[in-house]
């Protein structure tokens, strides 16, 4: 079997795992953050966990990318830069913006998140610098422009939504407030909405099954969690805005 065929099978595996994760996460909430609970084995601090499990999306992605034949061509380099821009912030800046509250993440979740990042790093990095074909004219194509705009919009929404959450807590505070403003007017989890929009943008900008598989995998994790978080807010806040949806304005 050639490596290109293996890559194709891994893309299919990614779609299959997404379906499985979606079903599982509709039944069981991943035990971190507000759903932290005992019984999931050893755990490590939330900050270290984020740095450890997101690192492959920066380091392994870069190593695989630069092994590709087209790694120094213009368009693959632009796509590489977009991916790294997001993941360097997520891996090395986001964990230090989290208010430390003593919460921990089970090693099992860290391990699964590393597998998720390794699979996506291989599938996407190998696609853009080796198996895909991105001439410089791709940068002025409709999919690239539309996808990049989607990514930029999703990134801004995600960052703003996370910032609103961070500002709800003073140092040392571990309570949950009622987020308001921005897209919280319409949904409970605009950070997840922004994240999903961003990876849909990646799928469009790369116009590839590799990119689509990552968008689907992100949504398969975030949709069930957003629904659970929405229910959690409704249970705890009597004045929770009735018209607010979970994660897609007016729909879900
Ligand atoms: N690509 C993917 O598949 C994927 C998967 C997961 C996450 N992400 C992204 O990673 C980021 C973090 O995800 P997450 O699941 O940790 O998000 P989250 O549950 O919304 O929490 C984000 C941070 O805000 C705090 N927080 C949440 N709600 C709060 C409230 N009402 N009042 C005060 N503080 C609050 C949380 O504290 P606690 O920890 O104490 O709850 C946590 O530190 C998001 O931008 C998300 O889009 C991406």
DSSP 50-69: HHHHHHHHHHHHHHHHHTST
At residue 189, the pLDDT reads 98
The yes-or-no verdict on residue 217 having pLDDT over 90 is yes
At residue 101, the pLDDT reads 87
Q: Provide, rounded to the nearest whole percent, the portion of the chain with pLDDT above 70.
A: 100
The yes-or-no verdict on residue 247 having pLDDT over 90 is yes
Residue 52 burial (CB count, 10 A)? 18
Q: 57 C-alpha to center of ligand 1: Å? A: 18
pLDDT band at 99 (very low <50, low <70, confident <90, very high): confident
Q: Alpha-carbon Rg of the chain, whole angstroms?
A: 19
Q: 50-81, pLDDT tens digit by residue?
A: 999 999 999 999 999 999 999 999 999 999 99
Instruction: Catalogue the E-assigned strands of the chain.
Output: 43-45, 104-106
Q: 145-197, pLDDT tens digit by residue?
A: 999 999 999 999 999 999 999 999 988 888 999 999 999 999 999 999 999 99
Q: 105-161, pLDDT tens digit by residue?
A: 999 999 999 999 999 999 999 999 999 999 999 999 999 999 999 999 999 999 999
pLDDT band at 39 (very low <50, low <70, confident <90, very high): very high
pLDDT band at 227 (very low <50, low <70, confident <90, very high): very high
Residue 20 burial (CB count, 10 A)? 11
At residue 54, the pLDDT reads 98
Pocket test for ligand 1, best of 176, 213, 214, 224 (most atoms within 8 A of CB): 176
Structure tokens at 32: 């971190």
Per-residue burial over 162-191, b if 16 or more Cβ lie within 10 Å, else e, is bebbeeeeeeeeeeeeebeebbbebbbbbb
DSSP labels, 214-240:
HHHHHHHHHHHHHHHHHHHHHHH-TT-
Q: Is the CB of 98 under 6 A from ligand 1?
A: yes
The yes-or-no verdict on residue 224 having pLDDT over 90 is yes
At residue 171, the pLDDT reads 83
Task: Say if pTM beats, i.e. exceeds, 0.85.
Answer: yes
- The answer to whether 128 touches 77, Cβ cutoff 8 Å, is no
At residue 222, the pLDDT reads 98
Q: What is the mean pLDDT of the chain?
A: 97
Q: Is the CB of 224 under 6 A from ligand 1?
A: no
- The answer to whether 129 touches 66, Cβ cutoff 8 Å, is yes
- The answer to whether 91 touches 54, Cβ cutoff 8 Å, is yes
The yes-or-no verdict on residue 100 having pLDDT over 90 is no
Q: Which residue has the CA at smallest separation from atom 18 of ligand 1?
A: 33
Pocket test for ligand 1, best of 22, 34, 214 (most atoms within 8 A of CB): 34
C-alpha separations of 172 from 24, 31, 99, 105, 161 in Å = 33, 21, 7, 18, 21
Q: 104-106 and 43-45 as β-strands: parallel, antiparallel, unpaired?
A: antiparallel
- The answer to whether 148 touches 211, Cβ cutoff 8 Å, is no
Q: Is the CB of 218 under 6 A from ligand 1?
A: yes
């Amino acid at each position: 079997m050639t490596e290109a065929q293996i890559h194709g099978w891994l893309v299919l595996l990614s779609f299959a795992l997404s379906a499985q994760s979606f079903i599982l996460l509709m039944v069981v909430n991943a035990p971190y953050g507000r759903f932290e609970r005992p019984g999931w084995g050893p755990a490590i601090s939330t900050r270290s966990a984020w740095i450890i499990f997101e690192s492959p999306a920066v380091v392994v992605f870069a190593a695989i990318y630069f092994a590709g034949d087209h790694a120094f061509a213009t368009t693959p380099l632009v796509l590489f830069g977009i991916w790294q821009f997001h993941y360097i912030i997520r891996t090395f800046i986001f964990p230090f913006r989290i208010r430390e509250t003593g919460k921990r993440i089970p090693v099992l979740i860290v391990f699964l998140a590393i597998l998720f990042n390794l699979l996506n790093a291989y599938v996407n990095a190998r696609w853009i610098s080796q198996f895909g074909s991105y001439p410089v004219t791709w940068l002025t194509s409709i999919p690239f422009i539309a996808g990049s705009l989607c990514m930029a919009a999703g990134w801004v929404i995600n960052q703003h939504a996370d910032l609103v959450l961070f500002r709800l807590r003073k140092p040392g505070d571990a309570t949950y407030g009622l987020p308001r403003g921005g897209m919280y007017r319409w949904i409970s989890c605009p950070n997840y909405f922004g994240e999903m929009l961003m990876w849909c943008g990646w799928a469009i900008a790369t116009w590839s099954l590799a990119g689509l598989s990552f968008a689907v995998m992100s949504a398969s994790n975030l949709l069930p969690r957003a629904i659970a978080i929405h229910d959690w807010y409704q249970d705890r806040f009597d004045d929770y805005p009735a018209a607010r949806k979970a994660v897609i304005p007016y729909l879900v």
